[in-house]
Each structure stands twice: as structure tokens, then as C-alpha cells.
Amino acid sequence: MIEFLKEVYAVMWSDLRFMRHHFLNIFIMSIMSPLLYLLAFGYGMGRGMTYEDIPYVAFVVPGIVALTTLSTSFSSTSTRINVQRLYYYSFDEMMMSPLRNSAIIIGKSMMGVIRGSISGGIILLIGLYITPDLHLTPLLIASILISCFTFSFLGIMAALLAKSHQSISTFSSLIILPMTFLCGTFFSVSLMPGAFQFLLYLLPLTHASICIRASALDWVFPWTSLLILLAFCASFFLINVYILKTKM
Amino acid sequence: MENIIEIKGLVKRYDDKVAIDGLDLTVRTGEIFGFLGPNGAGKTTTVRVMSTLADFDCGTVYICGHDIKKDPSKAKACIGMIQQRISLDKDLTIRENMILYSLYHKISSAERRRRIDALSEYIGLTEYMDNMVDTLSGGWKKRAAIVCALIHEPKILFLDEPTVGLDTQARRLLWDIIRRLNNDGTTIFLTTHYIEEAEALCDRVGIINRGKLIDIGPPEDLCSRVGATAVEYFHNGVKTQYRYFQNREEANEFVSTLPEGTTVTVRRTNLEDSFVELTGESVGRVR
């Protein structure tokens, strides 16, 4: 186990140094979009509104936290691996070293998890300050972390399969952007037509939103959604290990 | 161990194209082995297979006695690799890249510090250690790639077209580094399409074309297979023609039979002559 953790650390070390070299830039990039969403939807459209018997801002903050974990974790891992694989070729050096594929995947996911947690955490702290309806609970922290891991693994998968930088942009436009707006982040999925609801429940962000919102608002916790999110997380991880073993 | 690399019946296909076609090859421990061939001959693919970066369809590959399919971790521990394109992390400094490579190979922190200091001095990089990779010129980047590849003290160093894009001075400095590494016990496997490089550096050369090994041996042996003296002659706008002779006297005798006005060069045979005779193709750009 210690050996495995050392391998994970070896893989994440370069990403930690990268973050240190570009801290301010990364920090601003990570919180800009969620802050704009909070201003536009929380204060702009949502001022004075209530939703499911709570102020809309209390409803929307957990959704923005969920979408932040998605966008930040996904883009952090996918962009960095894409650059290392297709432009720097430094990904090859890692593949030539005697590291386990599972350690490579977890190590490469850590930058996404750290950045996703920091960005989501900042939005959450602002939310806790501006509305008393939100609560910091262990289940909330667990939900955010699982969400970050899931979308980091998804980012790794997209980067490992990408043939060019354009491929990542296409994936983001077709999969990530629609998820951002439709998966229960700004409104409840239950408002959508039945067939569409079914489709949305097939996407991981829907379950991340449900878990984060329920735990932040002290609602009954949706254990089924948490299990589904964990299943997505495990599946993305295993697919990544398989890709490294067979395609790289 | 006499042979550090043993390849038998290696086949690698990309879709319908056969990149390596039944390659059998051995490299002896301690030698500088050159893999010579034109662009697209299969040199880089062979190195990528040996360094575990590319899978293959048939055959067996043993590195330091380890089957790279069955025991890739042990094979990887013996290998250092300098790719044709610089493959350092350009968001990090040289020192950070060296630390990163040592972490990949699980080298303890005290040993890591010792090796980084020793290697940076050995290659002459000490003053550039805290520079970002992209601030260095091509020759210095290559040196930085070498120190990173050597951090785990590999038994064999693969260099894929190591001097492509370097000026003459940087190229000759790199040759000195390669010779010094070899003198200190590292086996060198380099691919090149530069005749001069193969002749200057290699103990043995393998000539590859269209994925097949055409011939193998010390450079002087390969040259002597076509003769000792080459005559290049050009007359009446016909393309330059070549004839090979066992000695200069025979060559001079032939030259005396050529018509008036023929441009003639008489010289020692080289590897390109050997390659052309063996394959009927030009070896690529010759400097």
C-alpha cells in the first residue's frame, strides 16, 4: 500500500509543481465561471425567489458547487494530460517508467480533485455566508470529493482517447456543457418531461447535484444517487486503466 | 550477459501497413549499436516497441534478459530513452524534471540529490538546472533529456535520431557525451539516418529498410562488402553513376576508360554506398 501511494505521489508531483508555478492564474480561472453563475442565477435572476420552500439562492448554490466540481475537475485533468500527451510527449516518459497503471490514473486525477475541491469549496463558503439554509456536513464533503474524482476520471478518459486538442473541445461542447445546465444544477430534474428525466438520470452530474444539494440542505440523503455516482466513478477509473493497458 | 537486447520474429502492423516485418536482432552488452535507415524504415517503431511504448503483433523482445510482454516493469527499469522530439515537461525546470524522473523510478531523496548533482556536472548542465525547459536551445534541451534519462542509471540508453535539428557544434558535443556514457558502461542503441553519425559512433550498425533488417556488422565491414573504393561519375547530363572496386588501382583503371569531359570523384566507400547497393534506395539526407 505504501509503495502504491508513493507511485501515486510520483505521478501527481509534477502537477503539484505546475499548480505552484501557475497558482494565481489557475485560481482565478477555477472560480471565475462559478462566481459568474452565482451572480447571474443566484442574485440576478434568483433574488427574492423561493424554490421548493427555500430561497432560490440556497437551492442554486449546491447546484453551482456540483457543476464547479464537474467543469474544474474535468478541464484540469483533460487539458494537462492532453498537453503532456500530444504536445510535450512527457506522458510517454511516465508510461516508460515502472509505475502501475492504477497509480498513474489516481495520480493524474489528483490535480482535478484538488482544484475541483478548492473551487467548489470557495463557492460553498460564499453560500454558507450568504444563506443560513446551507450546512456543512460530512456527507456534503464526501459527495463533493466523490464528484471531483468522478469528473477527474472522466477528464482523463477524454484526454487519453483524444486525437487532438480539438477532440477535447468537441467532447466538452457535446457532453460537458449540456450536463452543466441540464443535470439539476439550476432547477430540479423533476420539472423536465418524463423521457427527458430518464435521460438526465443516466448522467453522473444529475446524481452529484442531488447528493450535494440534499446534504447541504439537510434533506433526506439520496443513498441510491450516491451509489450510482460511485458506480460512475469506479467505471471511469477501470476504463482508464484498461485504456492505459491496451491503447497507450 | 552477452546480449542486452534479443529480438526474434518481431512484427508490428499499423492497420494494413507492416512497420516491422519479422525483425531478428541482438545487441551486445557495452556496445554502441546504430540502426540506420531512411525515414519510415521502421527505426523509431522498433525503439518504441523495445521501450514498451508500442505494442507489437508477433515475436519476442528481451531487454536485459526480461521479456517485455511478461515482465515489463523489470525491462523498464533497465531502459533510458531519449526520444527524437524532446519529451520533458516544459512547465517544469530541468531540476524539477530530474526529480520527477527519480520519483518515477522510486529513488530515495538522498540518492536523488547525489545523482542530480553528479549528472548535472557530468553533462555540464549545472548552471541551467533551475531554468524552465523551454528557455533552453535545442542542444541544451537534448542534454537535459539525457540527464533525466540517466537518473535511474539504466543499463541501456535508446537515442532516437539524437542529433536531428542540432547545429554542428551541438551535434559533436552530443557525440562526445554518447562516447563518454558508453566508456562508463552504458550500452547505447541509437537510430539515425545520418551516415556520418553511424560511422563516427557505432561499433556495429544494422541497416533497416521497409521494416526488414538488410544487413548488420561493423561499419567498415559493411563498407567493404561493396568494395574499398567508389567512383562517382557524371557525363552528358545522365544522373550520377557509381562503381565500386576492391582497390584504388582498379578504380583508376576504370576512370581512364571514361570519356573526355566526365566529372569524376574517386573516394573511399561509405555506409551509404553499402545501403544503396543492398537496397537500391537512398539512405536519406546525408550531411
Confidence of residue B281 (pLDDT cuts 50, 70, 90): low
Just give the CATH number of B1-78+154-216.
Answer: 3.40.50.300
Grid cell for residue B55: 505494442
Contact status of B14 with chain A (Cβ, < 8 Å) = no
SS (H, E, C) chain B: CCEEEEEEEEEEEECCEEEEEEEEEEEECCCEEEEECCCCCCHHHHHHHHCCCCCCCEEEEEECCEECCCCHHHHHHCEEEECCCCCCCCCCEHHHHHHHHHHHCCCCHHHHHHHHHHHHHHHCCHHHCCCEHHHCCHHHHHHHHHHHHHCCCCCEEEEECCCCCCCHHHHHHHHHHHHHHHHCCCEEEEEECCHHHHHHHCCEEEEEECCEEEEEECHHHHHHCCCCEEEEEECCCCCCEEEEECCHHHHHHHHHCCCCCCEEEEEECCHHHHHHHHHCCCCCCCC
Mutant choice from A12, A20, A88 vs B, greatest count of B C-beta within 10 A: A88
Confidence of residue A162 (pLDDT cuts 50, 70, 90): very high
Beta-carbon contacts below 8 Å between A and B? 73
Choose among B97, B106, B96, B84: nearest CA to B165: B84
Residue A247 has pLDDT above 90, yes or no: no
Q: What is the pLDDT of residue B84?
A: 86
Domain layout of chain A by residue ranges: 2-246
Q: Which of A121-125, A167-171, A229-233, B234-238 has the highest mean pLDDT?
A: A229-233
Q: What is the pLDDT of residues A27-85, one digit of tens each?
A: 898 888 888 988 888 777 777 788 778 899 999 999 999 999 999 999 999 999 999 99
ipTM of the complex: 0.89
Sheet strands side by side (includes B58-63): B17-28, B3-14, B58-63, B66-67
Q: What is the pLDDT of residue A120?
A: 95
Task: Provide the percentage of residues in chain B whose pLDDT is more than 90.
Answer: 61
Give the sign of the dihedral formed by CA B140, CA B141, CA B146, CA B149.
positive
Q: What is the pLDDT of residues B85-144, one digit of tens each?
A: 889 999 999 999 999 999 999 999 999 999 999 999 888 889 999 999 999 988 889 889
Contact status of A25 with chain B (Cβ, < 8 Å) = no
**Mean pLDDT, rounded, of chain A:** 93
> How far is Cα B31 from Cα B218, in angstroms, rounded to an integer?
11
B199–chain A nearest CA distance, Å: 29
Q: What is the pLDDT of residues B138-174, one digit of tens each?
A: 888 988 998 999 999 999 999 998 888 888 888 888 8
Confidence of residue B283 (pLDDT cuts 50, 70, 90): very low
Q: What is the pLDDT of residue B285?
A: 35
Q: What is the pLDDT of residue B160?
A: 92
Average pLDDT for A192-206: 93
Residue B282 has pLDDT above 80, yes or no: no
**Mean pLDDT, rounded, of chain B:** 90
A69 close to A151: Cβ distance less than 8 angstroms: yes
Mutant choice from B48, B100, B130 vs A, greatest count of A C-beta within 10 A: B100
